[in-house]
Amino acid sequence: MNRSIAPNYSQPESLAIQFPEEIELANGVQLFWTKDVKDDSVKLDIEWRAGSKYQSKKLVANFTNKLMLSGNEDRPASAIASEIDYYGGYLQHELDRDHAGIVLYGLRENISDVFRIVTEAFSAASFPQKQFEKERTVASMSFKIESKKVKNLCQRRFNKAIFGKESVYGQSAVEEDFTAVEQEDLKTFYKEVYQQGTPTLFLVGNVTESFIEQLKKWAENFSPKTINYTPNAPEQEKGRIANIEVEDAIQSAIRVGRLMFKKTHPDYFGFQLLNTVLGGYFGSRLMANIREDKGYTYGIGSDMAVMEDAAYFLISTEVGIDVREQTIQEIFNEIERLQTELISEEELLKVKNYLLGDFLRHADGPIAMMENFKNIHFNLLPKTYYSDFIQAIHNTTAAELQNLAIKYLQRDDLTVVTAG
C-alpha cells in the first residue's frame, strides 16, 4: 500500500433544501413549519422586526427584548422562569440590528405548556422597576467587561467607520447610555414594535394540530401597524484610522473591510468564493500565511455580513503587538496576490469542494434546514438560492475571481482599524 497516494474521492452532491409548510395564522402572522422531525424535539422561533435599528434611544431594543418575559407586579419573573424550567423548556432571547425575538426549545409532550407560559408572560409584561434596575446593573457591568477587550474596541470603531455616523448600524453604546435608558422607553418600544408588530414563527417539530391551533389563537392578539422606518444610507470612512491605544495590551486587534452588496447582487456568489480563498476557511491564504507560516496569530479570517439595509466585508484577527504592522502588510500582500495572480486550478478545486461539503454540513437535519430557509426568507431570495449558489461555485473561473479582487478589494476602498 502506498500511503502517499490519496484515496479516491468524489465531489459532494448538493442536498435539496426542505422547505417548510407555510401557514397564515391570523392578522398577517405567518408560520413556517417543518413537521418531519424524527425525534421529540420542538424548536419555535418567534421573530419581530424589533432589532436595534428601530430604537430611538440606544439600548432600548436590547433591554426590551431581555425583559419582555419578566412579568408584572403580581407575577414575578422568577415564577415565570420556574414554570418554564418545570416543563423542561429552554428560552433564548435573540437580538440583532434588524430582528429580535425569542426561541423556545422543548419536547412534544411539553411544548404546549411552555408556549402557554411564555405567551401569558408576554401579554402581561409590565417591565417592573426591580427587573429593570437589575438589567441595568447587569448589562452595564457586562458592557464594562466587554469594553476591556481589544477585539470589541476595534469592532465598535470599525462599525462606526464602515457605516458612518448617520447610520444606526454604526452605533455602539457608551457607558452613559446605561443611565439614560428609562423604564418608559421599554414600555413604548414594546407596544409599538412587539404588540403592534407582526411576528414571524418558524417551527421545527412533529407537533399536533392542536398546537398549531394554539399558535393561531395567539396570532389573533396582534393588531399590526406599519412601522415608520427609513434607513440612512451608510457612508464609509476609508483608509487607515488612528490606532485605539489600550494601555497594557499585549495583543492588537485588526479589522480591515469595506461596504458590500446584498445577496441578490450578481457578484455575490463569486465574491463569497473569493472570500473563502482569502480567509473563509482553515486552509485560506490568510491562515496559511499569517498563522501557519509566520505564527503571528491564533486565528485570522474573513467574512461577509449582510443585513437588511447594508452589507460589509471584513477581515479580523488578533496578533502580538510587535507584529501588528507586518500583519497589515501581509493582509495587503495577500489581497494583491489575488489581484495579480490567477488562483491555481488545484487551489480553486479545493475551495470549491470544501464549500460544497460545507453546504452539506450546514443543511444536516431539520433545524439546520430551517436556518437556511430563514436566510432565504429574510433576505428575500428566490427558492433556488442554494442550487443557484452551488451552480455558481461549479462555474466560477480563476479569471473571474481575479476580476472580483480587482473590482472590490482596492486598497483605497478599504477601512483599516486597530486597537491595542
Partner 1 sequence: MINYEEFKLDNGLKVIFHQDKTTPLAVLNILYDVGAKDEEESRTGFAHLFEHLMFGGSKNIPNFDTPLQMAGGECNAFTSNDITNYYNTLPAQNIETAFWLESDRMLELAFTPKSLEVQRGVVIEEFKQRYLNQPYGDVWLNFRPLVYKNHPYKWATIGKEIAHIENATMEDVKGFFFKHYSPQNAVMVVGGNLELQQVKDLAEKWFGPIPAREKYVRNIPAEPEQTEARELVIERDVPSKAFYMAFRMGNRTSADHFIGDLCSDIIAGSKSSRLYNRLIVEEKKFTSISAYITGSLEEGLFIISGHLNQETTFEDAQAAIWEELDNLEGSLMDAKELTKVKNKHKTSKVFSEQSLLNRVMNIAFYENMGKLSEINNVLENYDRITAEDIQDFSKRIFARNKQSVLKVNIKK
Based on CB atoms, which residue is closest to partner 1, 163 or 202? 202
Q: Shortest distance, CB of residue 78 to partner 1, whole angstroms?
A: 5
Binding to partner 1 (CB under 8 A) within 10-49 occurs at 10-13, 15, 38-41
Contact between residue 301 and residue 315 where contact means Cβ atoms under 8 Å apart:
yes
Q: Shortest distance, CB of residue 117 to partner 1, whole angstroms?
A: 12
Based on CB atoms, which residue is closest to partner 1, 236 or 327? 327
Contact between residue 153 and residue 255 where contact means Cβ atoms under 8 Å apart:
no
**CA angle, 409 then 415 then 418, to 5°:** 125
Strand, coil or helix: 151: helix
Sheet arrangement for strand 200-205: 21-26, 29-34, 200-205, 41-48, 100-107, 90-95
Q: Which stretch binds partner 1 (CB under 8 A): 115-123, 216-224, 230-238, 344-352?
A: 344-352
Based on CB atoms, which residue is closest to partner 1, 259 or 315? 315
Contact between residue 101 and residue 199 where contact means Cβ atoms under 8 Å apart:
yes
Q: Shortest distance, CB of residue 349 to partner 1, whole angstroms?
A: 7
Residue type, 282: F
DSSP designation for 8: P
How far does the chain reach from its first CA to its final CA, in angstroms? Answer: 52
Based on CB atoms, which residue is closest to partner 1, 220 or 364? 364
Residue type, 41: S
**According to the binding rule CB under 8 A, does residue 410 interact with partner 1?**
no
**CA 81, CA 155: separation in Å to the nearest integer?**
34
Strand, coil or helix: 5: coil
Q: Shortest distance, CB of residue 177 to partner 1, whole angstroms?
A: 16
Please name the residue that has the C-alpha cell 453546504: 359
Contact between residue 105 and residue 367 where contact means Cβ atoms under 8 Å apart:
no
Among 176, 209, 248, 412, binds partner 1 (CB under 8 A): 248
Among 24, 28, 56, 82, binds partner 1 (CB under 8 A): 82
Q: Shortest distance, CB of residue 359 to partner 1, whole angstroms?
A: 9
Based on CB atoms, which residue is closest to partner 1, 130 or 240? 130
Based on CB atoms, which residue is closest to partner 1, 8 or 210? 8
Binding to partner 1 (CB under 8 A) within 273-292 occurs at 281-283, 291-292
Based on CB atoms, which residue is closest to partner 1, 231 or 283? 283
- Cβ neighbours of residue 68 closer than 8 Å, sequence gap 6 or more: 102, 121, 122, 125, 190, 194
Q: Which stretch binds partner 1 (CB under 8 A): 85-93, 304-312, 329-337, 396-404?
A: 85-93
Burial class for 273, CB neighbours closer than 10 Å (0-12, 13-18, 19+): buried
Q: Shortest distance, CB of residue 405 to partner 1, whole angstroms?
A: 21
Q: Which stretch binds partner 1 (CB under 8 A): 56-64, 83-91, 119-127, 372-380?
A: 83-91
- In the shown chain, the binding pattern of residues 179 to 218 toward partner 1, with x for contact by CB under 8 A and - for none, equals ----------------------------------------
- In the shown chain, the binding pattern of residues 349 to 388 toward partner 1, with x for contact by CB under 8 A and - for none, equals xxx-xx-xxx-xx--xx-x---------------------
DSSP-derived secondary structure for 206-244: ---HHHHHHHHHHHTT---------PPPP----EE---B
**According to the binding rule CB under 8 A, does residue 231 interact with partner 1?**
no
**According to the binding rule CB under 8 A, does residue 318 interact with partner 1?**
yes
**For partner 1, how many residues bind (rule: CB under 8 A)?**
77
Residue type, 336: E
Contact between residue 176 and residue 55 where contact means Cβ atoms under 8 Å apart:
no
Based on CB atoms, which residue is closest to partner 1, 81 or 305? 81
3-state secondary structure 313-345: EEEEEEEEHHHHHHHHHHHHHHHHHHHHCCCCH
Q: Tell me how far apart the 2 most distant CA atoms of the chain are, in Å.
A: 75
- In the shown chain, the binding pattern of residues 122 to 161 toward partner 1, with x for contact by CB under 8 A and - for none, equals --------xx-xx--xx--xx-xx-xxxx-----------
- Cβ neighbours of residue 263 closer than 8 Å, sequence gap 6 or more: 306, 311, 379, 381, 385
Based on CB atoms, which residue is closest to partner 1, 357 or 382? 357
**According to the binding rule CB under 8 A, does residue 320 interact with partner 1?**
yes
Q: Shortest distance, CB of residue 193 to partner 1, whole angstroms?
A: 23
Based on CB atoms, which residue is closest to partner 1, 321 or 399? 321
- Residue 298 grid coordinates: 491564533
Based on CB atoms, which residue is closest to partner 1, 107 or 227? 107
